[in-house]
Amino acid sequence: MTYSIQPNIYVKLKKSLYAIISLILISFIFFTIKYNETSSQRREETLGRILKNNYFLELNKFIFQKINSPYLNISHKIKKGENLTNIFKGYNIDEKDITKANSKLKKFIKPNKLKMGIILDLVIKKNISGTINLIKLNLPTSKSINVSLDRDINDKFIAKKKITQLFTKLSFSEGIIEKSLYSSAIKNNVDPNIILEFARLYGFEIDFQRDIRKNDAFQILYETFTDEDGEWYSNGKIIYAYMTIQNRELALYKYEADKLFGYFDINGKSMEKALMKTPINGARLSSSFGLRKHPILGFNKKHLGTDFAAPPGTPIMASGTGTIVKAQWCGGGGNCIKIKHNSTYSTVYAHLMKFASGIKSKTKVKQGQIIGYVGSTGLSTGPHLHYEVIVNGKKINSQKLNLPSGKILKGEDRKKFEIERIKIDVLLAETIAKKN
């Protein structure tokens, strides 16, 4: 049901309705007693018993609470062109509540773009002062997604999104690299998070600054999750990844079994190593490891790291899984992070614009996780990442680091992988055929 009348009028009508119900109920009881009891004494006794009856007392209490209740439940059917703000204003909801509610809800919905015909449920409260507060909101944005807003005991709004069902589909993208993998993938409508994961998978084998050549190619097959209307909700895992690098073909297949998860080449070998070759995608090697003239101090000094020039805000990844030893201001290094990966390896990332959310000392991070963003803090002439690799306490050239080979599947895992690889090849062929 849609209510187009103003809340104050509606409240009065609703109160009148409850009052009428109460009068009808009492009248019904009175006339029933009058026509069923012969003597006036028995009528008085029966009426007395009814008026003292707990059920009758509770019913009356409920009715009179409804008459005097400051709360109002509203079901509003969204019309063409309506948005949350004008709906709220239509029910005279306090301006501050409107601003706060929209601020919380915009994380999950577009307040100015509501689907026509959907039922918006509201609970509002009319105060003695005459102001009306929003208490609760419920909005089904689709059959499988529901957004709610609740006012807590601290008078703050809490917005939540509940998902009852999502549908999985496969997305495929391919392209020719012109300037960088990142820019070419973006041009082909690949989500940035998928690109970063793709770069992480190949980051153990490929130096994206020096190994990539113009006209190298890539392919990605990955999961996407949608609602029943086919609208995108989120991305899943990469199923298949492929690159041609200087005439080398590198294909990777997702394999998951029991506690094992990873990406393996056609021979069942993983590219994953303790550290990635470079913790940043699309950057230019601007200063190598070794003796150099310091760009600011002006004298020769050994450069104990590798510098990668990149636009401000470019994401920086943890080159390996480990624990953050420090994430703080490091003087000439500006904002810097140090990660201890194991008893052998540690890495340092300096001159960051800022740290990623949640990054602080003692935080555990995974390989490929974004830990910060390129900046020019500290002693720096421009935006870049200063990257150091420390092996057994000694700083070494990250570009010449030899790491143990990745895991090779054997036995039952190898057999299962072969079956999974064939399935993925079939899925890939079907997806490409549908696209074409």
Q: What is the pLDDT of residues 142-178, one digit of tens each?
A: 777 888 889 888 889 999 888 777 888 899 999 888 8
* Measured distance CA(77)–CA(85) in Å, rounded: 15
Specify whether 96 is located in the same domain as 156.
yes
Q: What is the mean pLDDT of residues 6-28?
A: 53
Cα-flanking dihedrals φ and ψ of residue 288, to 5°? -85, 175
Cross-strand bridge partners of residue 66: none
Note whether residue 405 is domain-resident. no
> Which pair of tokens denotes residue 237?
């895992």
Q: 292 falls in which pLDDT band (50, 70, 90)?
A: very low
Instruction: Specify the CATH number for the domain of residue 133.
Output: 3.10.450.350
**Helix crossing, 7-36 with 40-52: angle to 10°?**
140
Cα-flanking dihedrals φ and ψ of residue 237, to 5°? -95, 155
Q: What is the mean pLDDT of residues 40-69?
A: 55
- Looking at 233-237, 292-296, 431-435, which range is the least confident one? 292-296
**pLDDT of res. 289:** 54
Domain end, chosen from 163, 186, 204, is at 163
Specify whether 221 is located in the same domain as 292.
no
Domain end, chosen from 112, 131, 163, is at 163
**pLDDT of res. 16:** 54
- Looking at 150-159, 196-205, 357-366, which range is the least confident one? 196-205
Specify whether 304 is located in the same domain as 375.
yes
Specify whether 41 is located in the same domain as 78.
no
Is residue 424 within 8 Å of residue 253, measured between CB atoms? yes
Note whether residue 121 is domain-resident. yes
Note whether residue 197 is domain-resident. yes
CA distances in angstroms from 355 to 6, 115, 319, 352, 375, listed in the order given: 50, 38, 15, 7, 10
Note whether residue 275 is domain-resident. no
3-state secondary structure of 90: helix
**pLDDT of res. 375:** 92
Question: Does the structure show a pLDDT above 60 at 252?
Answer: yes
**Helix crossing, 54-68 with 40-52: angle to 10°?**
60
Specify whether 118 is located in the same domain as 201.
no
Residue type, 3: Y
Is residue 377 within 8 Å of residue 335, measured between CB atoms? yes
Q: How far apart are the first and last CA of the chain?
A: 47
Angle at 347 between CA 406 and CA 390, to 5 degrees: 90
Q: What is the pLDDT of residues 416-431, one digit of tens each?
A: 999 999 999 999 998 8
> Which pair of tokens denotes residue 10?
């509606």
Containing structural domain, residue 325: 284-400
Specify whether 81 is located in the same domain as 98.
yes
Note whether residue 418 is domain-resident. no
**pLDDT of res. 214:** 81
Residues 318, 319, 325, 329, CA torsion sign:
negative
Q: What is the mean pLDDT of residues 356-361?
A: 92
Specify whether 387 is located in the same domain as 355.
yes
Closest by CA position to 211, among listed 186, 173, 180:
180
Note whether residue 177 is domain-resident. yes
Instruction: Specify the CATH number for the domain of residue 350.
Output: 2.70.70.10
Q: 70 falls in which pLDDT band (50, 70, 90)?
A: confident
Give the chain's domain count.
4
Q: What is the mean pLDDT of residues 280-287?
A: 69
Mean pLDDT of all residues belonging to the chain? 80
- Looking at 41-45, 116-120, 430-434, which range is the least confident one? 41-45
Question: Does the structure show a pLDDT above 80 at 290?
Answer: no
**pLDDT of res. 46:** 55
**pLDDT of res. 200:** 82
Closest by CA position to 203, among listed 357, 398, 425:
398
**pLDDT of res. 324:** 95
Question: Does the structure show a pLDDT above 50 at 296?
Answer: no
Q: What is the mean pLDDT of residues 367-388?
A: 90
Mind giving me the DSSP string for 150-198? EE-TTS-EEEEEEES--EEEEEEEEEE-SS-HHHHHHHTT--HHHHHHH
Q: What is the pLDDT of residues 83-97, one digit of tens each?
A: 889 899 989 999 999
Note whether residue 357 is domain-resident. yes
> Which pair of tokens denotes residue 388?
């150091």
Specify whether 159 is located in the same domain as 171.
no
**pLDDT of res. 60:** 56
Is residue 43 within 8 Å of residue 37, measured between CB atoms? yes
Domain end, chosen from 163, 188, 209, is at 163
Note whether residue 371 is domain-resident. yes
Specify whether 195 is located in the same domain as 248.
yes
Specify whether 158 is located in the same domain as 171.
no
* Measured distance CA(152)–CA(116) in Å, rounded: 29
**pLDDT of res. 45:** 57
Specify whether 52 is located in the same domain as 101.
no
Specify whether 172 is located in the same domain as 223.
yes
**pLDDT of res. 130:** 84
Question: Does the structure show a pLDDT above 90 at 237?
Answer: yes
**pLDDT of res. 9:** 45
* Measured distance CA(192)–CA(317) in Å, rounded: 14
